Structure 1
Amino acid sequence: MQIEIDIVDAFTSAQFGGNSAAVIITEKWLSEPLMQSIAAQNNLSETAFLLKRSDSEYHIRWFSPLTEIDFCGHATLASAFVVFRKHPHLKVLDLFAEAVGEMHITHRGDGLIAMNFPSRTPQPLANIPCDLLEGLSITPREVLRNNQAYFAIYAEEEDILQLQQDPARLANLAPYDVVVTAQSRQYDFISRYFWPTNGGAEDPVTGSIHTGLAPYWGEKLGRSNLIAFQASKRGGLLHCQLDGERVIISGNAVPYLSGVIDVVEKDK
């Protein structure tokens, strides 16, 4: 069976930056073992699988090389980029995922793709896990958590840039990942994202976690529009807008590869 595949660099305007995601669009779902095998073979942060309902409506699922992911922002951006590229007349499309619900995606006139996500504001923690404190080389001043990750808050952006992680200790926090963040001089805030249990040591750019970072920093800074930078080796720029119980996250994307994969789906 031959299947079209696209690889896109998301949250960047320059190739080889941001976070790469593979995108596969099908008329019916592949089996879960096959989707997981393809994602493992691709060995990217995520491979997104879209089930087409119409040119502008799709169901979406995301797989890291290790497991299926409930919510992935950069692979959603990559998926929207591929759909808009295949259908140049489209300006809006709707995606649906079980854990996230409806996601309204808009191709803006300035080239950015805007994704409307539910807000997932983190809440303060009274008891901070020892594995979190021992797993980060610099002690945070505050720790919060939402349904995705622990949020380690720092006073200085240099802490984010210099910080080292112990993946073995952070893996003990499963099913939660860890994001470290601080206010920035050049941007409104910066972050890094560690997910040894669900995907890898450090994610290049993580759109989903900004549905928690943006509300946190929006309240702290008294702003509803924020510019964020994820300070990984590849780096990524995210435009965040608070809209009540929703967070609109926008970014650029650039194509890297379009091709065909040959796969054999075994009998179920």
Structure 2
Amino acid sequence: MKLTINIVDAFAEQQFGGNSAAVIITDSWLSEELMQSIAAENNLSETAFLVPECKNSGKHNHYAIRWFSPLMEIDFCGHATLASAWVIFSKNPEFTECSISAPAVGAMVIRQGADGYIDMDFPNRMPTPVSEVPDALLNGLSLAPEKVLKNQQAYIAVYKTEAEVKAVSQYSPLIKQLAPYDVVVTAPSADNLADYDFVSRYFWPANGGDEDPVTGSIHTALAPFWAEQLGKTELIAYQASKRGGILKCRLETNKLTGERVIISGKVVPYLEGTITVY
């Protein structure tokens, strides 16, 4: 069996930045075992698998998606959704939007934005304060956070300064004990002259790897949190990994779907090819 694969850099301004994701679109689902094996072989943060939900004369813009890290299936992944939308748009240049759905987050409307950005409509997953911070979190980070919150996906360790976020390190064996939750560290930008409003880094040794280069999904928590702290509904985020990535975030209220977070990013293509599965 031969499968078309695209690998792109998501949330990237130039090649070899942002976060790489593989995208594979098939007419029907591959087996879970095969999808996990392909994701492990790719060894990227995520491999996204998509299947069209509606077919009309060979053209469709509604897809179901599943995301796999090298270790396991993931409930929600932002950068691989961005990568998938880019692949869909590149193969269907007449599309201005598409819909991608997954059980954990429902239907996500993806639109061609301005200046090369792609806009993703995600649910607002605002975090809440943690009354008792796990010892594994406090001992697993080299610097003590100012406060800790949590949402469906991760513990959110908030620091006073950008310098602390860039300096903090994790002790993976302890951070793994927080599974199924990951850990994101975040702080406001260093000064008002910065091109971004807040920074973050994302540790996920239990679910994928030591540090994720750019994590779109967690910004459905970070954006509403920092919007409340900074008193603004449009923010620019920088994920301060070695590769780095810029995310534009905007809070909206939809009469039908409630509180939403629009996350926008750019994509740079890297590879299109064929994999052979025996």
* Identity %, equivalent residues: 62
Matches within 5 A, 1:108-257: 108-184=113-189, 185=191, 186=194, 187-244=196-253, 245-257=259-271
CA deviations on 1:201-220 (whole Å, 9 max, x unpaired) are 00000000000000000000
Count of residue pairs brought into register by the alignment: 264
- Quick one: which amino acid aligns to residue 241 of structure 1? R
Cα distance in 2 for partners of 1:52, 1:225 equals: 32
- Quick one: which amino acid aligns to residue 226 of structure 1? L
**Residue 214 of structure 1: SS of its match in structure 2?**
helix
Q: Which runs of 4 or more aligned residues in structure 1 lie more than 4 Å from their structure 2 counterparts after TM superposition?
A: none
**Residue 198 of structure 1: SS of its match in structure 2?**
coil
Q: For the aligned residues, what is the CA RMSD? A: 0.6
Which residue does 1:66 correspond to in 2?
A: 71
Instruction: Tell me how far 1:104 sits from its aligned partner.
Output: 0.3
Which residue does 1:97 correspond to in 2?
A: 102
Farther-moved stretch of structure 1 (15-24 vs 182-191):
182-191
CA deviations on 1:137-175 (whole Å, 9 max, x unpaired) are 000000000010000000010001111110111000011
- Quick one: which amino acid aligns to residue 263 of structure 2? I
Instruction: Tell me how far 1:134 sits from its aligned partner.
Output: 0.3
Cα distance in 1 for partners of 2:97, 2:145 equals: 40
- Quick one: which amino acid aligns to residue 38 of structure 1? I
Cα distance in 1 for partners of 2:222, 2:167 equals: 20
**Residue 62 of structure 1: SS of its match in structure 2?**
strand
Cα distance in 2 for partners of 1:108, 1:231 equals: 24
Instruction: Tell me how far 1:226 sits from its aligned partner.
Output: 0.1
Instruction: Tell me how far 1:109 sits from its aligned partner.
Output: 3.2
Cα distance in 2 for partners of 1:181, 1:108 equals: 27
Instruction: Tell me how far 1:39 sits from its aligned partner.
Output: 0.1
**Structure 2: any 5+ residue segments left out of the alignment?**
254-258
Which residue does 2:83 correspond to in 1?
A: 78
- Quick one: which amino acid aligns to residue 194 of structure 1? F
**Residue 131 of structure 1: SS of its match in structure 2?**
helix
Cα distance in 1 for partners of 2:162, 2:101 equals: 35
Cα distance in 2 for partners of 1:254, 1:240 equals: 19
Instruction: Tell me how far 1:36 sits from its aligned partner.
Output: 0.1
Instruction: Tell me how far 1:108 sits from its aligned partner.
Output: 1.3
Instruction: Tell me how far 1:110 sits from its aligned partner.
Output: 1.9
Cα distance in 2 for partners of 1:11, 1:91 equals: 19
Cα distance in 1 for partners of 2:248, 2:77 equals: 16
1:23 aligns with 2:28: no
Cα distance in 1 for partners of 2:204, 2:174 equals: 11
Superposition TM-score, scaled by structure 1 size: 0.98
Instruction: Tell me how far 1:13 sits from its aligned partner.
Output: 1.7
Cα distance in 2 for partners of 1:129, 1:29 equals: 38
